[in-house]
């Protein structure tokens, strides 16, 4: 006898195909974020295979999850930008301090 229930990974890909209409309705820039969300699902497919997948209000959960995921990516980008600016400012301050010290030496 063959296996009648598809593996979680196959079911995940079928589910991703079922959300294609949702993805297509997103703005072009948001489609990449949505694809990244699906990639996260693929990344944790082994753990997901152990979970029971609910059927009710699936669309509500997906849209809420997508919105939170998008915000998280935006916040991460802002944090990275702030870190880079801080590093650049610290380097500039060190350079300014070093040039002051060398110009004050007799």
Q: What is the pLDDT of residues 22-78, one digit of tens each?
A: 999 999 999 999 998 888 888 877 877 776 655 545 555 777 788 888 999 999 999
Report how many domains make up the chain.
1
72 within domain boundaries: yes
State the pLDDT at residue 56: 42
3 within domain boundaries: no
State the pLDDT at residue 104: 60
36 within domain boundaries: yes
State the pLDDT at residue 20: 94
CA 27, distance to chain mean position in Å, is 17
52 within domain boundaries: yes
Q: Is the pTM of this model over 0.85?
A: no
Looking at per-residue pLDDT, the higher value among 105 and 93 belongs to: 93
45 within domain boundaries: yes
Read off the tokens for 55: 């059927």
State the pLDDT at residue 54: 52
SS (H, E, C) 27-84: CHHHHHHHHHHHHHHHHCHHHHCCCCCCCCCHHHHHHHHHHHHHHHHHHHHHHHHHHH
Domain containing 46 equals 8-104
């Amino acid at each position: 006898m063959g296996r009648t229930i598809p593996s979680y990974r196959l079911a995940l890909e079928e589910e991703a195909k079922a959300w294609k209409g949702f993805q297509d309705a997103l703005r072009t820039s948001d489609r990449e974020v949505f694809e990244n969300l699906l990639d996260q699902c693929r990344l944790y497919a082994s753990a997901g295979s152990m979970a029971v997948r609910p059927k009710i209000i699936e669309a509500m959960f997906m849209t809420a999850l997508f919105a939170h995921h998008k915000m998280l990516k935006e916040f991460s980008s802002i944090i990275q930008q702030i870190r880079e600016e801080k590093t650049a400012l610290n380097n500039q301050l060190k350079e300014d301090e070093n040039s002051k010290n060398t110009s004050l030496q007799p």
